[in-house]
Structure 1
Amino acid sequence: MKEERRVRSSQERIDRIDQILCCKQPTLKVMLDDVHSSQNLSAILRTCDAVGVQHLYYTTSDNRDLRIHKTITQGAHRWVERTRISTEEQRVFLQKKQKEGYQVVVTHLEERAVPFREVDYTKPTIIVMGNEKDGVSSETVELADTVIIIPMQGMVQSLNVSVAAALILYEAERQLAEAGKYDTPQLSKEEREKIKSGWLYRDNIARRSKGKIPLR
């Protein structure tokens, strides 16, 4: 009986992973430009997972990895690919994405900025968020195809970066849902199977470490 429950639980887990992969949006990406807070990174990862973002990139001024707070991500860090880009390579990386057809959408308070809801996120998009103190670097703003703001009606001029990311990503989610992007897998079957293989391997290790899967 225990073995049957374990097999059933494992199959349900696999089915859930298949479902998640069918909802992934590979053309919606996020980059954090020198975000200092590992707590904010963790919160943004959780939102990325919630809306189907597959890739999150980030840079740090000291070119060191930021830690993940598992109590904040609640496991979401296992389902979103995160890559640290060196500060020296950031400009080249974004230019490469533009050549691949991505629009670089940067959050920044300036005259040419438009409200975040006016962007078409159904196009291949990489959303760049700045750090908590200085925002996005001037070099990155220069590369932007579109600069966006979140309209503020109060005394303060900005939101916490994790809150801002959630608002923008859920506007993107709304547009993608209306366009039917979650109804049809955006990743090929081969891509989904490759990702699933890696996920299952890491997931089994994580669950065994918590005693959810008995060691044979």
Structure 2
Amino acid sequence: MMRKTPVDLLIFDLDGTLIESKWDIARSVNLTLAELGLPERSLEEIFGFVGDGVKRLLRLAVGEAHEDRYEQALKVFRGHYLEHCLDRTVFYPGIEPMLRHFAGKEKAVATNKSIEYTRVILDGLGAHHFPVVVGGDNGFGLKPEPGMLLHIMKQVGAAPERTVLIGDSTNDINGGHNAGIRVCAVGYGMGNRAKMEACQPEWFIERPEQLMEIFE
């Protein structure tokens, strides 16, 4: 039997790690583009834009040819996403039992998503597991910069060697390593497996429940 790794703090990415949110993001992007009279994007294109925060998402969706509409798109998107961000967004299967299993551990969310959207979604899903939640516009930079992860560890009082980051993107893996912490990549989210494996996460899981087998 594999020996479990002791941790005090589990830091989770949000989109593609805790929540299945891509459908609501894609719908809100295309509603925004339609309202601005711009060509809509395929779902695959939009899914590929997710992970670097809302500003980059909208910049890529609008495209270089319509860059002058970017600021307007940002405002329009906010209205659509706040209206639709909980239409189909749910915790991935297995997330809630896993979070209950780690009830005695410190848990936090570190996401490049805007804190406004993050709070609305977590509150709407009834998530009470995360005393510390940091978004991409909280002033600590975006992953793969280590700022938000270092801030969370300081807030909680956890040592890097007793912390793990769980995420579905190269930004998560590189961000964790830049902060001096180990990373568990997830294969069920939106991330590209080959690109994630190239970043050499310490663990790679296919189901959230596997975290219970790895950490204690």
Same fold (TM over 0.5): no
TM-score in terms of structure 1 length: 0.29
Give the greater-gyration-radius structure (CA).
Answer: 1
